[in-house]
Structure 1
Amino acid sequence: MDDLPTSNEAAADVPIVAVGASAGGITALQKLFRGLPASVPFAIVVLQHLPAGSPSGLPALIAKCTHLPVRVATAGERPEANCVYFPSPEHVLTLEDGVFATRPAQGGLRRPGIDMIDSFLESLALREQTPSIAVILSGTGMDGTAGAVRIRQAGGVVIV
């Protein structure tokens, strides 16, 4: 009986699929979500590299393409299977000890030099439980490259 995982340990082991795209990747994201079933055994985190000062309407667009619940990832929240998460446009999202962590982006907005996709992927690669999956649909500059390498080095799967 003592060897059974607690609900917190089980929740921390939810597989995560991180999907990175630039602002030009909206059509690819819509196609991806239209092709998903109504239920998936993993959490999906969508990371969009936006130009400075650009708010994201992507969560609302994706909500129209999927039956999965679409949420803004909040600090301290454990990812749940069967949900789609987006970071707040004003924050850099990471995963620490099985929960989402956020920190303000420089000046409150995403700026060049902050690799939004890499930041999350690199934190995801540090998970010791279930290997993760990174899907890079498009990107700006090299954002996503270093994180994808880290995911692969940690035994995860990378699809570009």
Structure 2
Amino acid sequence: MSATRVRVLVVDDSVVIRRLIKEILDADPRIEVVGVAQNGQVAIAKVGELKPDAVTMDIEMPVMNGVDAVRAIRKTQPRLPIVMFSTLTERGASGTMDALAAGASDYVTKPANVGSVMESRKNISEQLIPKLVALTGARRLAGATRTALPPAQPPAGMARNGPNVRRTQPFGLLAIGSSTGGPDALASVLTSLPGDLPVPVVITQHMPPVFTKMLAQRLDSSCRLKVTEAVEGDTVQRGRVLIAPGGHHMELRSRGTSVFVHLSDAPPENFCRPSVDVMFRSIAPVYRNRVLGLILTGMGRDGAAGAGILRTSGGEVFVQDEATSVVWGMPGATVMAGQADRVLPLEQIAATVTAALSQNQGVTSMRQATGPVSGGVRA
């Protein structure tokens, strides 16, 4: 790979879109477009010929579509960053989920109106360029450190911050935050959780509207727990996994002995809506020291500040390790802030989380195991 500029192959059946993407990427001094392809079959050949650092891939193309092209490329290039272009439609979301399941690294939403040049340029610049830079940077780092053993706890010098609160009650909630690479990581974790998990699960995954609903449906079809996209007023209860809907922050609130979902249109935090920090911040006063937070792969820092709030309240936070993360932004920021209790490879997360959530549950009634804490007294 180039040690400086990111070498990108652009794949799209539209001449207009190919030209638009190429112009925008070439204008960035960090990126160089080394080739274009009009369908998946040509893309496979050019990946072998040009050896790009990253690929942008359309989904719907003649001859060979983007999903099939991803599957073929992954046979010889298991870690080459591939970013899909998708429309903000149910069909586009479904195709994107298929592509991510096939091994795509991430996706951006395709310009809906190529006639609006300014809007299209802004859309591609703000979404695509940061992802290409982050994904290729993560790949280079992984190539240099892949042989290192993943730490079982935060590295030396990254001491646990916040008061040393001893948790004397079982966990009452599992709260998960994820972004880039999250759908695959969530599938790995959730499909390995038992159907009798003793606590509810809430998730904030950075995704737009329609996509989060499709993600919930896909996960529900393969999990023993019931997975749905959250709606206003949903009750948080054992056996259910609630995913924040795209375009809305998800907060938890208590009423008597119940906990319910409140959806908010407040401004984005960390450039995200839904935001993991918003969700974590709302959880802390409801569940206090009975929260197990989990931060999976993702760009940026969302979740690091919220993890500090959870742990100040006595909760614990596990994060995915660098070696198995697509991008170690969110989990890495949490570790560097001293807010991670455990740093785990993806394949160990489900078993470790299940063990932590199940510990001492037998001595506590169902009401205590899942209900909120109000005014410092268990409801």
TM-score where L is the length of structure 1? 0.78
Q: 2:316 aligns to what?
A: 157
For the Cα contact (< 8 Å) 2:269–2:278, is it kept in 1?
no
Change (3 A) 1:54 1:78: closer
Which aligned pairs between 1:103-114 and structure 2 lie closer than 5 A? 103-104=264-265, 106=267, 112=271, 114=273
Percent of paired sites with the same residue: 27
Change (3 A) 1:130 1:41: farther
Mapped pair 1:117 → 2:276: yes
Q: 1:101 aligns to what?
A: 262
Q: Which of residues 174, 190, 200 in structure 2 aligns to 1:17? A: 174
Q: 1:9 aligns to what?
A: none
For the Cα contact (< 8 Å) 1:73–1:88, is it kept in 2?
yes
TM-score where L is the length of structure 2? 0.35
What residue identity is the alignment partner of 1:17? L
* Distance in 2 separating the partners of 1:119 and 1:69: 23
Change (3 A) 1:19 1:143: same
What residue identity is the alignment partner of 2:236? P
For the Cα contact (< 8 Å) 2:311–2:317, is it kept in 1?
yes
* Distance in 2 separating the partners of 1:66 and 1:157: 24
Q: Which of residues 143, 150, 154 in structure 1 aligns to 2:302? A: 143
Q: 1:71 aligns to what?
A: 228
* Shift, 1:65, TM fit: 2.4
Which aligned pairs between 1:122-137 and structure 2 lie closer than 5 A? 122-128=281-287, 131-137=290-296
* Shift, 1:28, TM fit: 1.3
For the residue of structure 1 that corresponds to 2:178, the secondary structure is strand
Q: Compare relative contact order (CA 8 Å, sep 6+) and give the higher one, 1 or 2.
A: 1
Provide, for residues 106-159 of structure 1, a one-character-per-residue CA deviation record: whole Å limited to 9, x for no partner.
5xx999254611100011011256611110012331101011111111111100
Cα root mean square deviation, aligned: 2.6
Q: Which has the larger radius of gyration?
A: 2
For the Cα contact (< 8 Å) 1:90–1:110, is it kept in 2?
no
The structure with the largest helix share of the pair is 2
Figure out how many residues of one structure are paired with residues of the other and give that number.
145
* Shift, 1:96, TM fit: 1.8
Q: Which of residues 243, 251, 256 in structure 2 aligns to 1:86? A: 243
